[in-house]
A = this chain, B = another copy of it.
Amino acid sequence: MEKQDLSEFRKDQILQAATAVFARLGFHKARMDDIAQEAGLSKGAVYWYFKSKDEIITTILDRFMDRELENIQRISQGDGPIPVRLMKMMKTLAKEIEEISDRMPIIYEFYAIAAREEAIRKTIHRYFGKYTTLLQELIQTGIERGELRDVPPHEAALSLVAQMEGCKLIWILGVFDHPEVDLEKLFISSMNFMLEGLILEV
């Protein structure tokens, strides 16, 4: 393996191990020793590739957010009517999130830290910003195409982002005790309500 490749390989190895340990123990209780052990490396090796525990955490967040954005970008492509595309997005997203469900809880550690850590906050803002912009464009298109009502696109996008974040939250917390409710159903029904409204049409 090339030098560069090995370095990248090791970093991934460590990041993956760290993510697993963080998910299991939380940022604070997870020791560098735990991470090293999980990665099958020595503590010194971990420090060879990352300056500090914080750098590992920051890097995990960065990569996580990058991946999420790529996912959304990818699955928001398409050419059907906007409402249909939004519904499709929900389905795909749900599947992808469910696949990494065991690593999801650490996202709330990031949110918790965000209030105090500029770097973390920046990354999160960037993520939500792009996320919102993307949805806003979809909505704008939908309005222009006459597929959606003439709503303020930014507000609508924010509401959609909020809706999805909320769904993820209560799903991860395992809030609902109806086992038949999985994340996809939650996403779908939520999007349905958003699209069609609850109020009786007169």
Contact yes or no, A166 B174, CB < 8 A: no
**Cβ of A189 < 8 Å from any Cβ of B?**
yes
Q: How many copies does the complex hold?
A: 4
Output the nearest chain B residue to A164 by Cβ-Cβ distance: B166
With known contacts A105-B115, A163-B163, A190-B159, A195–B198 Cβ distance under 8 A: yes
Contacts A166-B164, A198-B149, A200-B147 known; A155 to B112 CB distance under 8 Å? Answer: no
* A170 to B199 Cα, complex, angstroms: 26
Q: Which residue among A149, A155, A164, A178 has the maximum number of chain B CB atoms within 10 Å of its CB?
A: A155
Contact of A181 among B83, B142, B158, B165 (CB under 8 A): B158
Q: Interface 1/0s, chain A 108-126, versus B by CB < 8 A?
A: 1101111110000100110
Contact pick for A170, options B116, B158, B200, B201, CB 8 Å: B158
Using an 8 Å CB-CB cutoff, how does the interface string of A5-48 with B read, 1 for contact, 0 for none? 00000000000000000011110100000000000000000000
A5 to chain B, nearest CB (A): 21
Question: How many interface residues does chain A have, given as a range?
Answer: 35 or more
Q: Are B175 and A129 in contact (CB under 8 A)?
A: yes
**Which A37-85 residues have a C-beta within 8 angstroms of B?**
83
Is residue A161 within 8 Å, beta carbon to beta carbon, of the partner chain?
A: yes
Q: Closest 10 interchain pairs by CB?
A: A197-B197, A166-B166, A162-B166, A105-B115, A108-B112, A165-B166, A196-B197, A128-B175, A159-B190, A108-B111
Contact of A159 among B105, B111, B163 (CB under 8 A): B163
| A167 on interface, CB distance cutoff 8 Å | yes
The answer to whether B178 and A154 touch across the interface, beta carbons within 8 angstroms, is yes
A128 CB contact (under 8 Å) in B106, B170, B195: B170
Choice from B147, B155, B174, B186 contacting A162 with Cβ under 8 Å: B186
Q: Are B116 and A112 in contact (CB under 8 A)?
A: no
- Does B198 contact A194, Cβ atoms closer than 8 Å? yes
A200 touches which of B149, B175, B193 (Cβ 8 Å): B149
